Amino acid sequence: TSLYEALSKRRTRGQKSLAVLLDPDHLDEAGCQRLLELTEIHSVDYFLMGGSLVTSSHQASLIRFIKSRSAIPVLLFPSHSLHLDTQADGILLLSLISGRNPDFLIGQHVITAPLLRASNLEILPTGYMLVDTGRQTTASYMSNTTPLPYDKPSIAACTAMAGEQLGLRLMYLDGGSGAMYPVSPAMIRAVRQAVEVPLLVGGGINTTEKAQAALAAGADVIVIGNQIEKAPEFLGEVSKVVHTFNTVLKAV
Ligand code: 1GP
């Protein structure tokens, strides 16, 4: 089965997933090795690879390192067409639908289209929505876009609806890496009710309570970066939250 089929099957069953965001600027091979050891104990469903501003050049060696040691799928989460890497399993082909910068709605995609076509990467067309979470994030600065207002769930819902109508197959609500606080449960719920496609939620999820709140509000996949970088043991705690959610689901 394709990555997408697996994801939408999980969505239909109400099963939740955990994705760990690896920022090549913040991770070396030793750190990566430690993380992989943790994933042998605590289950992780996806690795996302990328960052809003990548200044180092070792993304490729990091992907190679993971692919030679782990079966967890690696999905590119690129902020720019330069960050394509055909060693990964798939790519979140992001259309930044919360913004109005044509370069991130279609421009970068035109540049990468022939490379993607020639690759074996599974393409996951993703409606990417940045949400204002208190301070300007690298993502909104670098993309030169205004994020969705934090307290306007209906704008997020209509944006997601339009994205789904345009054919996007995943939605990603992102407060931005290191957000002061995560996307609100009210906004997650509104988007969840507006579309059928799987919903990823990330940015500022740094406690088990916040993870639980995002899942309960309707996130299918929670994405965690910073907090696992800071405290790798958080991986075990948050993995348990996802696991408990899925176990309770099985029991009912
Ligand atoms: C950012 O959603 C991701 O794009 C993860 O954010 O680093 O704050 O967990 P954090």
- Which pLDDT band holds residue 14 (cuts at 50, 70, 90)? very high
155 Cα to the center of ligand 1, angstroms? 21
Prediction pTM value = 0.97
| Residue identifier of the C-alpha nearest atom 2 of ligand 1 | 202
**Residue 248: predicted pLDDT:** 85
Q: Which residue has the higher pLDDT, 137 or 37?
A: 37
Q: Give the model's pLDDT for residue 179.
A: 92
Residue whose Cα lies nearest atom 1 of ligand 1: it is 177
Ligand 1 within 6 A of CB of 218: no
Ligand 1 centroid–CA 223 distance in Å is 6
pLDDT of 161 over the 80 cut: yes
Span of 78-92, 109-123, 169-183 with lowest mean pLDDT: 78-92
The span from the CA of 207 to the CA of 237, in Å, is 9
Q: Is the pLDDT of residue 45 over 80?
A: yes
pLDDT band at 108 (very low <50, low <70, confident <90, very high): very high
Rounded average pLDDT over 208-227: 98
Q: How confident is the model at residue 58 (pLDDT cuts 50, 70, 90)?
A: confident
Q: Report phi then psi at 95, rounded to 5.
A: -110, 120
Mean pLDDT of all residues in 4-10: 97
Closest approach atom of ligand 1 to CA 228 = 9
Question: What is the arithmetic mean of pLDDT over 215-232?
Answer: 97
CA of 112 to the centre of ligand 1 (A): 24
Q: Which two tokens stand for residue 237?
A: 């705690």
Distance of alpha carbon 122 from alpha carbon 124, whole angstroms: 6
When pLDDT is cut at 50, 70 and 90, the band that residue 55 belongs to is confident
How many Å lie between the centroid of ligand 1 and the Cα of residue 49?
11
Instruction: Find the 79 Cα to ligand 1 centroid distance in Å.
Output: 13
DSSP string across 122-181: EEEEEEEEEB--SS--HHHHHHT-PPBPTT-HHHHHHHHHHHHHTT--EEEEE--TT-SS
Q: What percent of the chain is predicted at pLDDT more than 70?
A: 100
Q: Report all structural domains of the chain as residue ranges with CATH numbers, in order of start.
A: 3-251 (3.20.20.390)
